[in-house]
Amino acid sequence: MPTPRALISTIQPFSGGVPAKTRWVVAELAALGIPSLVAWYEPWSCTPRLSVPLHRLLSGARPGAVDHTLWSGVPGQGIGCWLPELEFTHYLPNRHWRHLVAAADLHLAVTGNPLCAQRFLPFRIPFLAWIGTPWHDDRVDRVRRFPWPRRLLDGAVNAPVLRAMERRVLRAPQGRILTISAHTARALEALGGRAPAGVLLLPPDPALFRPEPAARVPWRIGFAGRWSDPRKRLPLLLDAVALLRRQGHPVRLELTGEADADVLQPQLQARGIADRVHCHPHLGREQLAAVLRRWDLFVIPSHQEGLCIAAVEAMACGVPVVSTRCGGPEDFVLPGRSGELVPAEAAAMAAAIAAICGDPGCRGRLSAGALAWVAAHADPAAARRRFRAHLGAVYPQLAMAHAS
C-alpha cells in the first residue's frame, strides 16, 4: 500500500487551542508514517492579496494561496477566497482546495467550530472532524462588535448560510465527528440531531506539564488565553484581583496569551492593580509550562469555553482551577476535588481564590485531585489509542494496513 497523505483543514495554526490540537494530530499521523499538509483560509485582514472582494470581482483576479513551513518542517498553505466580506465563502472549496483534496488520501478537520469540514462535503469523501465548539458560540461576541451595516448583512445572509453549513457537516453520513469536551458533544448533538462519535481530550505533554512543588509561589494566580477575546471575560478576573487587594490579600496575577503585553495597562491602572499584575507576551510551550508550575491557582473567568486546554495543562502541573460555569471546564473542574466552580461575580470569584490560596491544606487536596483527574482522563497513551480507533473507523484500510 502506498504511503497515504493527510490533508488537515483548520484555521490559521499559529497560536491558541486549535493550533495545539492540529500540532498533536500532525504528530500522531507522523507516528503512523503518514505525512500531513495543513491548510486554512488566510484572512483578508492578514493577506488581502489572496482574496477577491466585491470591488475586484470583475478585475479577472482569482483567489491565491501562500505556502508556509510549520512545526518541524510540516508544510502549510493559507488560501484566499471569493468575496471575503461574506463569511460563509471562507469555507467554500475553490481551485486550491480542490487540488489539495484530490491529492490527499485522508481528510481531517481540526477546528474550533464545524465549518472547516464544509470544504470536504462537495466531494462526498469520508472525513474525521475534531471540533471545539458550535459555530454560534464561536463568534457571538465578535458579531456584537460589528458596525450596524455588517450586522445587518450577517443576520440576513451570513448567519442563515453558516447555520445551514454547520447542520450539513454534523449530519454528513460520511463524516465522523469528535469533540473536545462532553459539553460540546451535547451542544452539537442538539444542533445536528446526531450524537458525535466521541470525546477526544487533547492530552498535556507529560514531559513539559508536570508538577514541580518547589516552584509554586503562594498567592500567585494566573490565566492563559487571548485577553482580547470577549468570551474570556478578563475584566471579571481583574475585578476579583482588585477586590482581593482591597481585602488585604497578597495576591499576584500573571497573564499570558497576547502578543501585546501592554494592552491591559489602562484597565490595570484604572483598578489600581498595575503593581499586582504581570502580563507576559505569548509564550512558547516550554515557557508556558515553567510559568504554570509556579501558580497557586489557574482562574477561568470566561462565559464560553469549548474546553480551555491551558487549564488542563495547569492541572497536569498540579495547579487547581477556579472557573465560572462556562461549558468545557465543567468537565474537569470538580468542586471540592480539582477546584471550584463559581458564579460570574467578582465577589464569588475572589472568595474562592482566597479560600484556596489562604489554606495550604485545601490547596494541597485540590492539587492532588487535579493530578488524579489528568491521570484518569488525559493520559497521552489512551488519547493516542482513541484517535487511532476513530481514524481506523473512517479509513478501515488504514487500520488493516497498520495491524498487519
Quick check: helix, strand or coil at residue 9? strand
Task: Answer for the pair 192, 167: CB distance below 8 angstroms, yes or no.
Answer: yes
Bridge partners (DSSP) listed for residue 277: 253
Residue 15 confidence (pLDDT): 77
Query: Which band of pLDDT confidence, cut at 50, 70 and 90, is reported for residue 384?
Result: very high
CATH dotted code for 6-203+379-403: 3.40.50.2000
What distance in Å separates the CA atoms of residue 46 and residue 324, rounded to the nearest whole number? 33
Q: What is the pLDDT of residues 192-224, one digit of tens each?
A: 999 999 999 999 999 999 999 999 999 999 999
Residue 75 confidence (pLDDT): 97
- Give the whole-number percent of the chain exceeding pLDDT 70: 98
Residue 355 confidence (pLDDT): 98
Q: What is the pLDDT of residues 100-132, one digit of tens each?
A: 999 999 999 999 999 999 999 999 999 999 999
What is the crossing angle of helices 159-171 and 182-192, to 10°?
100
Residue 258's φ and ψ, nearest 5 degrees, are -120, 150
What distance in Å separates the CA atoms of residue 91 and residue 118, rounded to the nearest whole number? 6
The CATH homologous superfamily for domain 213-377 is: Glycogen Phosphorylase B; (3.40.50.2000)
Residue 176 confidence (pLDDT): 98
Listed in order, strand segments (DSSP E) in 187-251 are 198-199, 220-224
Task: Inform me whether the pLDDT recorded for 276 exceeds 70.
Answer: yes
Check if 6-203+379-403 and 213-377 are the same fold: yes
Classify residue 266 as exposed, middle or buried by CB count within 10 Å of its CB (0-12, 13-18, 19+).
exposed
Classify residue 110 as exposed, middle or buried by CB count within 10 Å of its CB (0-12, 13-18, 19+).
buried
Residue 399 confidence (pLDDT): 61
Please give the average per-residue pLDDT across 274-301, as a whole number: 94
Amino acid at 84: P
The residues spanned by each domain of the chain are: 6-203+379-403, 213-377
* Higher pLDDT pick, 274 / 403: 274
Among 222, 201, 230, 227, residue whose Cα is nearest residue 295 = 222
Query: Which band of pLDDT confidence, cut at 50, 70 and 90, is reported for residue 168?
Result: very high
What distance in Å separates the CA atoms of residue 119 and residue 97, rounded to the nearest whole number? 8
Cell of 404: 498487519
Task: Answer for the pair 106, 35: CB distance below 8 angstroms, yes or no.
Answer: no
What is the crossing angle of helices 159-171 and 135-144, to 10°?
160
Residue 154 confidence (pLDDT): 80
Please give the average per-residue pLDDT across 356-370, as a whole number: 98
Please give the average per-residue pLDDT across 157-169, as a whole number: 94
Task: Inform me whether the pLDDT recorded for 190 exceeds 90.
Answer: yes
Bridge partners (DSSP) listed for residue 252: 220
Cell of 118: 464544509
Query: Which band of pLDDT confidence, cut at 50, 70 and 90, is reported for residue 173?
Result: very high
Quick check: helix, strand or coil at residue 86? coil
Classify residue 20 as exposed, middle or buried by CB count within 10 Å of its CB (0-12, 13-18, 19+).
middle
Task: Inform me whether the pLDDT recorded for 293 exceeds 50.
Answer: yes
What distance in Å separates the CA atoms of residue 195 and residue 38, rounded to the nearest whole number? 27
Give the DSSP per-residue string, 18-52. Answer: HHHHHHHHHHHHHHTT--EEEEEE--TTT-GGGSB
